[in-house]
Structure 1
Amino acid sequence: MVRKRESVPSLNDLVIGTVAEIHDHGAFVTLDEYGGLRAYVPLGEVSHTWFRSIREVLRVGQKAVFKVIRVDPARRLVDLSLRRVSDAERREKLIEWKRAQRAEKILELAAQKLRKTLDEAYEKVGWRLEDHYGEIFKGLEEASLRGEEALLEAGVDERWAKAVAEIARQNIKLPRVKMSYLITLQCVDGGLPALKKALTAWEEAVEVPQGVTVRFYTLGAPRYKIDIEALNYRDS
Structure 2
Amino acid sequence: MTKRLSRRGALWAVGASSALAATSTALWASPPSREQRRLDNRLELWGTFTRRTHDNLLARYASERSSSLLREALVNGGSLAFIAPATLILRDDGVTGSTTLISPGRVAIEPNDPSLPRRPLATRAEAPALAWLADHLLACFAPGDGQALLADARAEAPRAGGTPKLALMPPRDSAARALIRSVTLSFDQVGGAIVRVEIAESDGGVFVLRLSDHRQDVDTDSLARVTEGVL
Q: TM-score, normalised by structure 1?
A: 0.21
Q: Which has the higher strand share?
A: 2
Structure number with greater CO (CA < 8 Å, separation at least 6) is: 2
Q: Which has the higher helix share?
A: 1
